[in-house]
Amino acid sequence: MKYRIYPTKAQAELLEKQFGCARFVYNRFLAVRKEYYLTHKDDPQKNGLNYYDTAAQLKELKKQPEYAWLKEAHSQVLQQSLMNLDRAFQNFFAKRAKYPRFKRKHGVQSIRFPQYFFVLEKHISVPKIGKVKVKIHRPLEGKPKNLTITKTKSGRYYASVQVEMEVPEPQPKASAVGVDLGLKSFLVTSDGQEITPPKHLLKARKRLVRLQRHLSRCKKGSRGREKARLALARQHEKVANQRADFLHKVSHRLTQEFGLIGLENLNVRGMVKNRKLARAISDAGWGEFKRQLAYKATWNGGFVVEVDRFFPSSKRCSACHYINPDMPLSIREWDCPVCGVHHDRDINAAVNILQEALTRAGSAQSHAEGVSVSPIARWAVHAELGSHPL
């Protein structure tokens, strides 16, 4: 549960101290772990430092007089900073992320409290901060586990409360749909629905250019430059919030209506390297949309089947499966030379994606050794074919 909080000036100063201490601990022990590796990389007996090693060093560091100011921060905030660093290294070694980088003072700041916080009706009680005013826009459900306070680049503060709650068993849905993502249309479904892209970044581009130009003309370190930086950050944050709101609404509607959703496994990271389409692809938010679909489908008793990116969804006739060898992007409609069916390019691609997704879901059990298909998958496949799964 994420809420907007409104700390007073004195509370904001206390939060800045907590942010600074957590950032210092993260950066210092990132340097320590890096130096330790470079020093002992030839020794196979020493594989590097872990969280417990850095936590012991932090305890001794706080005893030194020149680092007594670290005691102004909550002890568990500093420990959580070390846990975040250790998790960053684990993600790097598992090839899920890049090598950890040093945190910047002017970037997004965050601290985590695993205990000793209380969510009240109009306030959140935070250790060493006090009662901070909060806007509870939705009731807090479940048992609170930890609290993360974040300060964005635009100067806004948010409190994210992780909760543990009982989730009812989702009811599987028998309906299925294929989704074709694009730039001309954000998505087209196999049943003919089309959603136009909102293009939030394109609409705000003139204002962003003007604010960026004003920022570049301000003197570094001046009060006017800070005001210009905040104005630019707020405009970027507004565009990001608009995009997130649009993606959440579309993904929620699809996962509420359909149990099986077929998607192309697009290489978004590679596609944004095209300098002519990078801005439009980034503004569309395909990667975030796929992530939202995946977890929301699980919540609602469904699942997402990804179709190989090299599958000829646009070139193949969804009626007779003839593959048209010549299909440039300029062709939006075409007639199959074999069966004569007239196709809309995007709807035909969505139908082909749905057919391939159903085929993959239905044949997963026979092609994968020792892997069984979930009851949801069997139900969706049989329902699409018009038969009963039992």
Q: Would you say how long the chain is, in residues?
A: 390
pLDDT at 351: 92
Report the candidate in 350, 352, 332 with the shortest Cα–Cα distance to residue 342: 332
Q: Which of 53, 169, 245, 346 is catalytic?
A: 346
What distance in Å separates the CA atoms of residue 259 and residue 82, rounded to the nearest whole number?
Answer: 41
Report the candidate in 144, 269, 306 with the shortest Cα–Cα distance to residue 136: 144
What distance in Å separates the CA atoms of residue 289 and residue 247, rounded to the nearest whole number?
Answer: 6
Give me the sign of the Cα torsion angle 273, 274, 276, 278. negative
Q: Tell me the pLDDT tens digit for each residue of 177-191.
A: 999 999 889 999 998
- What DSSP string runs through 5-52? EE--HHHHHHHHHHHHHHHHHHHHHHHHHHHHHHHHTT-TT-----HH
What distance in Å separates the CA atoms of residue 290 and residue 282, rounded to the nearest whole number?
Answer: 13
Q: Which of 264, 283, 356, 384 is catalytic?
A: 264
Q: Tell me the pLDDT tens digit for each residue of 324-347.
A: 888 888 888 888 888 888 988 889
pLDDT at 368: 42
pLDDT at 93: 92
pLDDT at 309: 87
pLDDT at 89: 95
pLDDT at 28: 96
pLDDT at 239: 96
pTM for this one?
A: 0.83
pLDDT at 152: 95
Is 344 labeled as catalytic in the residue annotation?
no
Spans of the chain, pLDDT less than 70: 363-390
Is 346 labeled as catalytic in the residue annotation?
yes
pLDDT at 389: 37
Does the domain formed by 176-198+244-385 have CATH 3.30.420? yes
pLDDT at 384: 45
Domain ranges of the chain: 2-164, 176-198+244-385
pLDDT at 45: 72
pLDDT at 363: 61
What distance in Å separates the CA atoms of residue 15 and residue 21, rounded to the nearest whole number?
Answer: 10
Is 264 labeled as catalytic in the residue annotation?
yes
Burial of 205 (0-12, 13-18, 19+ CB in 10 A): middle
pLDDT at 98: 93
pLDDT at 94: 93
DSSP state of 338: T
Q: Which of 180, 283, 356, 384 is catalytic?
A: 180
What distance in Å separates the CA atoms of residue 86 and residue 76, rounded to the nearest whole number?
Answer: 15
